[in-house]
Amino acid sequence: MFYVVTIVAELILIAAFVFLYMQNRRLRRQRNELLQEKEATYGFIHDVAEVFAGATTVDLDNLLRRVLYYAVRTTRAASGAVYLFEPDKQALRARAISGIFPPLLGGVDTGLERAMSKSQHVENLVKTRFIQRGEGLVGEVADFGSAILLPDAETDPRVPRYELDFLQIRSLLLVPMRFHQEVLGVLAVVNRVDGQPFAPADLGLLQALADQASISIYYAGLRETLEEKMRIDRDLDAARRIQTSLLPKTLPRVEGVELAAFNYPALEIGGDYYDFIEVDDTHLGIAMADVSGKGTGGAIMMSVCRSVIRAHAPRHLSPAQVLKLVNQVLAHDVSEDMFVSVLYMVLNTSTRELVVARAGHERPIVSHEQQDLTILDSPGVAIGIADTETFERVLEEIRIPLKPGDVVVAYTDGVTEAMNIREEEWGLDQLLDAIRVASREGANSVLNNVRQRLERFVGNRPQYDDMTLLALHVMK
């Protein structure tokens, strides 16, 4: 009996030692994993600090390469990739790749067989393919924000199969990169170099690294966005300065004629311009134009347009001839996504005859003393729309003898297309009514009435096109 008790006690003692040994091994393993995670985190934080320190700009691709370096190192992976969302937040693209990372969607094309560098060909395939939210394993992680661990990836139908050994996926690990509740991208690693499958410990390490990296990636992206906004702001500011310099500082004095004009630059530079040109002692040129292009490009095109008009106007009394010459100079330089509408009129200051030519611009309006309105509809297409032959064939000028009390109003489409908070346009009818009511009092009265009505209509809503209006009143 004593012998049996002794044996049982020894067995219990051995079991206790085994349990303690196993516990000690587990604790050592957990300790090593924590130290590994700590080392990776500290190393990554140090590297990220170098990226941000003293830099006026942040190289996001360089940052992603560093993230991937630590991801592959800590999980002992053979290869890895960082996928980030595109600006539309619907598609992801691989922004960084380490090792030979096999395509997780779409397979490989026949070009791989002919490629001089198969690894470079595969990398190009992965980097140039977009993955939609919810599409494939990467899209699934991005959509649901949950990690995927596949220790035996070869048995999962979602994993692509490849005959080439260097593309075979034996074990796969994907984790989301999140900032607060927003998924920024996906961090993926393939095949451990020791041949073992990825384990939950690898998942914990990779997710911890991804969480740390996401903070830096978010602020790097935010910094990129701010830098782009600053660049755009500088571009718009330069365009505004160019545009402002084009406008007349003072209005010319013409005996028996009252002139008035306003220009309201919009949130985005649209390239409105108006000008008065002394053609000769008895003729005044009046130009108004609108460039469809935004930013500095539109402003520079408007500056060129102004220079060409001013160069040719003094030698020609025909506004149609001036516009033909302008088109000959500008047509070849106007890009496909840009066009210029121009209204050019010549007033005989002695006879009060007005000659009008219109290259696709808004039709000027004449208010007569009896408050009847006439819309001057001379044919013509905008510069940059048609070839030179078509432009010159379509363009015609019309002559209007103005009488005392008549008011001529020219404007850009930003006036009639001004919008209020309910997305409603002010419209031509509103403009005509504003002109009809105020025209008896002259050009400044029309200008003030239009401006006041416009301001009441649009309220605080920012406008995305310039508003320009010019009025000419033949006094009695």
CA-wise closest residue to 367 among 313, 433, 413: 433
Percent of the chain at pLDDT > 70 equals 82
Average model confidence (pLDDT) for the chain?
85
**pLDDT at residue 49, as a whole number:** 46
Q: Is the dihedral of CA 18, 36, 79, 151 positive or negative?
A: positive
φ, ψ (nearest 5 deg) of residue 285: -85, 135
- The token pair that represents 109 in the structure block: 């094309």
pLDDT at site 53: 45
Please report the beta strands in 395-445, taking only residues with DSSP state E, as ranges in sequence order: 397-401, 407-411
Split at pLDDT 50, 70, 90, the class of 52 is: very low
Indicate if the pLDDT at residue 130 is higher than 50.
Answer: yes
pLDDT at res. 334: 77
Signed CA dihedral, 37, 42, 46, 48: sign only: positive
Cα–Cα dist 47/38, whole Å: 14
Tell me which range, 14-28, 125-139, 452-466, is most confidently predicted by mean pLDDT: 125-139
Q: Return the higher-pLDDT residue of 245 and 397.
A: 397
Residue 223: the pLDDT is 62
Q: State the Cα–Cα distance between residues 308 and 326, nearest whole angstrom.
A: 6
Q: Model confidence over 132-184: pLDDT tens digits?
A: 999 999 999 999 999 999 999 999 999 999 988 899 999 999 999 998 889 99
pLDDT digits (tens, 9 = 90+) for 180-197: 889 999 999 999 999 999
How many beta carbons lie within 10 A of that of residue 151, not counting itself? 17
| pLDDT per position as a tens digit, 286-318 | 999 998 866 667 777 888 888 999 999 998 999
Q: How far apart are CA 422 and CA 113, in angstroms?
A: 59
* Cα 259 from Cα 446, distance rounded (Å): 11
* Average pLDDT value for residue range 29-45: 53
Task: Determine the pLDDT at residue 465.
Answer: 81
The two three-digit tokens of residue 133, written as one number: 């939210």
Distance (Å, rounded) from C-alpha 334 to C-alpha 26? 72
- C-alpha distance across the termini of the chain, in Å: 138
**355 contacts 395 by C-beta, under 8 angstroms:** no
The one-letter amino acid at 55: A
272 phi, psi to nearest 5 deg = -70, 150
List the beta bridge partners of residue 366: 374, 408
Average pLDDT rounded to a whole number, residues 206-220 = 84
pTM of the model: 0.58
- Is the pLDDT at 352 greater than 90? The verdict is yes
**Residue 208 scores a pLDDT above 90:** no
